[in-house]
Structures are given as C-alpha cells and as structure tokens.
Amino acid sequence: MIDYAILSATQAQQQVDELTGVLQACVADGASVGFVDADDDEAMTRFWQQRIGSLSDGDSELFVARQHGRIVATVILSCSAMPNGRHRAEISKLLVHPQARRQGIARELMQRAEQRARVQGKTLLVLDTRSGDVASDLYRSLGWQVAGSIPFYAESTAGVLDATTYMYTVLA
C-alpha cells in the first residue's frame, strides 16, 4: 500500500531522517542528484533542512510517497521567486528509493506535482536531469520536451563529468 502526501515544513522537519535516507540510498545507487558521496549524510541532512526552510516560506512544496509507513520517494515543486516568473515552477529531487522502484511511484508523484502546479495557475514547468538517465523516459512519456543539453555539467558518483538535459512542459 502506497500513500501520497504533501508535507508541511513541520512534518518534513519531523521526518528529516527518512528524507535523508531516501536521498542517501539514491546517491549510493549512483543517482545524479547533487551529491557525490553517499556517506556524507550530514550534507544531505543540511540540504533537506534548507529545503524545509523554503517550504515554510511557501515558495515550494514537498510531495512524498510512503510505503509501510516510511517515506520512499520525494519530489519538490518550487515556484519562481521572480515577479516575471510567477507562471513558472521547477521540479527537483524526484527520488524513489531503489527498493521501491518500478511501481509507478515516480509517475504518480510527477502527476500530482503537475496537477498542483496547474491549480496554482502555473503554465510552465522546467527541470534538468542527467542525460541518458531513465528519468528522461518518464518525463517524455508525461509530455515533457527537451530544451537542450549541457556537456560536463555535473560530477557523477564515479567521478565523471556528465551532461545534463534541460526539459520543460507547457501546462494546458
């Protein structure tokens, strides 16, 4: 049984260890999600603490999936802070714990984040993802388009500089 929720800043703070656990497991599995050392749990906890700060500001929303009562997946929807970008939001940290993959959790989280963005009146969503990762197949299947890619963008957990692909979707 999988359940989905949007966490408040207080709830996210209470569950920061579970959030860090998902991030850490994804990095240990080789994901390109900002971190190169899966043992650096302090840096990952710090990352979540900072993101929780922006939840309280109302600039972003954190969607999670829980399985057997524990957080197994996340995605963040962040609104542009600039007055000329009020129609726009960014998707980040789509993370599914390696043990919870291929059950449609990422697809469901993305659909929920997109629906929420629509309700908030957003008409454009953007994201970037390591070029060639399976995540881009998911985004394409949801109607996202490739804007372009940048070589040597991010260091991988294996120490290689990987390209990133920028994608967008115009919400109907």
Ligand X SMILES: CC(C)(COP(=O)(O)OP(=O)(O)OC[C@H]1O[C@@H](n2cnc3c(N)ncnc32)[C@H](O)[C@@H]1OP(=O)(O)O)[C@@H](O)C(=O)NCCC(=O)NCCS
Q: Which of 13-21, 42-50, 104-112, 143-151 is the region at the interface with ligand X (rule: CB under 6 A)? A: 104-112
Examine residue 135 and tell whether it contacts ligand X (CB under 6 A): yes
Binding mask 80-99 for ligand X (x = CB under 6 A): --------------xxx---
Examine residue 107 and tell whether it contacts ligand X (CB under 6 A): yes
- Phi and psi torsions of 131, nearest 5°: -60, 130
What is the full DSSP assignment across 103-144?
SSHHHHHHHHHHHHHHHTT--EEEEEEETT-THHHHHHHTT-
Nearer to ligand X, 57 or 134 (CB): 134
Taking CA 110 as the corner, what is the angle to CA 105 and CA 111, rounded to the nearest 5 degrees? 100
Whether the CB-CB separation of 125 and 89 falls below 8 Å is answered with: yes
Nearer to ligand X, 137 or 155 (CB): 137
Neighbours of 134 (CB within 10 A): 11
Among 19, 25, 33, 44, binds ligand X (CB under 6 A): 33
Nearer to ligand X, 19 or 33 (CB): 33
Whether the CB-CB separation of 114 and 126 falls below 8 Å is answered with: no
Q: Which of 78-86, 117-125, 133-141, 147-155 is the region at the interface with ligand X (rule: CB under 6 A)? A: 133-141
Using CA of residue 84, residue 124, residue 137, residue 35, what is the dihedral sign? positive
Q: What residue ranges bind ligand X (CB under 6 A)?
A: 26, 31, 33, 94-96, 101-107, 129, 133-135, 137-138, 141
